[in-house]
Structure 1
Amino acid sequence: MSTVAEQFSAATKANFEANLALYTDFTTKAFAGVEKLIDLNLSAAKASIEESTATTQKLFAAKNPQEFFTLSAALAQPNAEKAVAYGRHFAGITSSTQAELAQVAEAQVAETKRKIIEFVDQASKNVPAGAEGAVAFFKSVLGNANDGYEQLAKSTKQAVETIESNVNNAVDQLSQAATKGSAHSAKK
């Protein structure tokens, strides 16, 4: 039968390895999300440069001010639609990355919680007589800490959902404003 110190040492080593795996998984997923955002921004910048050049050429080819303003109004709608599409794509990437990170964290917390409870149960079998009160107190503290973490996780998840909802609402409002602005410009 192993001692409490040996059990603690093994649990500490396992916890360190689990945290290292969590860190690796977290950074991998975070970098994948950043990479997607960089690709999105590079694609948007490249498309913007190409479209800017084409737009400038069309505007310089206008034969009179009326044609210039008509072309300007006609080109505003696609740009607004592209800005809205970019916002939606950006929000989608950040939302999916956040969901992946939350899933990794929740799985790790559940596993750590399971291991701690297992360790406490195992260690409590080897405590000397009369120390049962201390073990019960420790289990109570552990339960309260877990309850606190679960509440924090719920609050964090709600905050992220609120932010995501606000971003989606902002993109929708931008889309509506762009549509109204384009329609207004086209009428002039």
Structure 2
Amino acid sequence: MSTLIPQQLVAAQQSSLEALFGLTNKAFEGFEQLVALNLQVGKAVLAENQEIVTKALSAGNPGALFALQASLSQPVAEKVVAYGRRVHEIVSGVQSEITAAATAQGQQFQRDAQGFVESLQKNTPAGSESAVAAWNSVLSAANATYESANKAAKQFVSSVSAVH
């Protein structure tokens, strides 16, 4: 038997590890974006609160204080909506990148597995057709499971995206 099959397995495992690390890096990039956004928002809120307290202390009368409070409610609501939108953009962006990478990896796995079975067919001795047929059966079941899981994941993502 040739060393082609073990080399294929090693290459497939290496490819899977590279994909895993790539997905992990994408997740960390998204986390970094969320942390940066929260730091930016935190700094802005602190500066705005300082300004509000300064205005409130210099208002002098309760009527001016109530007017100040009323004038601040609209910008706060707009900022909360903008913050939520930005969080959604970051999460959606990371999610779509991970989904695309996972789909590509799944398709590559299917091609590699098919190549593995074809290599088995070429390199197996006569009389081992039943073993190759078993591998083909396992591959077909794995492909069907992958397709089903991929479809369910896409439906879940679209339903979650529709809610937001």
**TM-score of the pair, normalised by structure 1:** 0.81
Shift of 1:139: 0.8
- Matched ranges for 1:25-174 at <5 A: 25-166=22-163, 168=164
The answer for unaligned runs of 5 or more in structure 2 is: none
Residue type matched to 2:66 in 1?
F
CA distance in 2, matches of 1:58, 1:87: 28
Deviation by residue 1:8-62 (Cα, 9 ceiling, x = unmatched) = 3111210121022112211221111111111100000000000011111122222
| Contact 2:5–2:119, Cα closer than 8 Å, also in 1 | no
CA distance in 2, matches of 1:8, 1:125: 11
Percent same amino acid at aligned positions?
38
CA distance in 1, matches of 2:64, 2:90: 40
CA distance in 1, matches of 2:17, 2:106: 13
CA distance in 1, matches of 2:63, 2:110: 70
SS at match of 1:61: helix
Shift of 1:126: 2.4
Q: How many aligned positions are there?
A: 164
| Contact 2:26–2:94, Cα closer than 8 Å, also in 1 | yes
The answer for unaligned runs of 5 or more in structure 1 is: 169-188
CA distance in 2, matches of 1:54, 1:142: 65
SS at match of 2:126: coil
**TM-score of the pair, normalised by structure 2:** 0.92
| Contact 1:11–1:119, Cα closer than 8 Å, also in 2 | yes
